[in-house]
């Protein structure tokens, strides 16, 4: 399969790319690195990426930034930065990508545990992750030509110790376990699912 991995140069994306590269053709996409560059906050940039790559079988997004900020310091502008990046950015990968993906292909987005288990200063991420999960549920029945879509919702991962203190009481999950969730989405048959990795 020809698989686009957006965010392939990040902590999670690198592991996912290494795994799929063993058996598939991988196009690594990053903001400034990778085989192709994209700014997911810019629809023109996303369209240019798909024009450059052409038809593909699967797209995995491990991309997207959102602010960690206490609610009493949060502003609409700061909140909006995450909505435009992690939420709308990943949604636009699907809205635009549906016109380039091969029949029977799949989209796999990345949300996260904060959709259900909030933490201090995580209101923006909780909102964004919940929005991504809802989009996947709603978009799945409307995608055409047998195209599937799922979201991976992982807990904090072992390879990101800098975030451990922000997730009190949570047991970090192994990268292997998270990567297997992406395999389930891309190589399996399910659609419209939020695959939780807790």
Cα distance between residue 30 and residue 20, in whole Å: 17
Give the per-residue pLDDT at 7: 98
Give the per-residue pLDDT at 52: 98
Q: Binning pLDDT at 50, 70 and 90, where does residue 148 land?
A: very high
Alpha carbon distances (Å) from 56 to 2, 5, 11, 153: 5, 11, 24, 24
Read off the tokens for 84.
Answer: 């435009």
What lies within 8 Å, CB to CB, of 75 at 6+ separation is none
Based on the structure, what is the number of domains in the chain? 1
**DSSP code of 173?**
B
Model confidence pLDDT, tens digit, residues 56-95: 999 999 999 999 999 999 999 999 999 999 999 999 999 9
* Strand duo 25-30 + 36-37: pairing: parallel
Give the per-residue pLDDT at 116: 97
CATH number at residue 140: 3.40.50.720
- State CA 151 to chain mean position distance: 7
Read off the tokens for 194.
Answer: 């939020």
Domain span at residue 59 reads 2-197
What lies within 8 Å, CB to CB, of 51 at 6+ separation is none
Q: Is the dihedral of CA 134, 114, 154, 36 positive or negative?
A: positive
Q: Binning pLDDT at 50, 70 and 90, where does residue 35 land?
A: very high
Give the per-residue pLDDT at 88: 98
Cα distance between residue 56 and residue 106, in whole Å: 9
Cα distance between residue 121 and residue 72, in whole Å: 9
Q: Binning pLDDT at 50, 70 and 90, where does residue 157 land?
A: very high
What lies within 8 Å, CB to CB, of 147 at 6+ separation is 98, 101, 103, 104, 105, 106, 107
Residue in 33, 16, 22, 65 with CA at minimum distance from that of residue 185: 16
Give the per-residue pLDDT at 84: 98
Q: Binning pLDDT at 50, 70 and 90, where does residue 158 land?
A: very high
Buried b (16+ CB within 10 A) or exposed e, 158-179: eeeeeeeebbeeeebbebeebb
Residue in 105, 131, 109, 97 with CA at minimum distance from that of residue 64: 109
Read off the tokens for 87.
Answer: 């939420």
Model confidence pLDDT, tens digit, residues 59-70: 999 999 999 999
């Amino acid at each position: 399969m020809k698989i686009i991995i957006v965010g392939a140069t990040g902590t999670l994306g690198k592991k996912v790319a290494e795994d799929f590269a063993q058996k598939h053709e991988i196009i690594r996409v990053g903001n400034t690195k990778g085989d192709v560059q994209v700014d997911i906050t810019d629809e023109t940039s996303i369209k240019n990426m798909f024009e450059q790559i052409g038809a593909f079988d699967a797209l995995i997004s491990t991309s997207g930034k959102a602010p960690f900020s206490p609610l009493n310091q949060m502003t609409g502008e700061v909140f909006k930065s995450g909505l435009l990046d992690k939420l709308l950015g990943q949604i636009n990968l699907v809205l635009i990508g549906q016109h380039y993906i091969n029949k029977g292909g799949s989209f796999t987005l990345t949300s996260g545990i904060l959709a259900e288990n909030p933490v201090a200063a995580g209101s923006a991420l909780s909102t964004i992750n919940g929005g991504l999960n809802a989009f996947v549920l709603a978009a799945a029945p409307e995608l055409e030509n047998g195209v599937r879509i799922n979201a991976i919702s992982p807990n904090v991962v072992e390879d990101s110790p800098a975030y451990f203190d922000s997730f009190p009481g949570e047991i970090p999950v192994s990268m292997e376990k998270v990567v297997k969730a992406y395999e389930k989405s891309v190589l399996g048959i399910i659609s419209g699912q939020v695959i939780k990795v807790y």
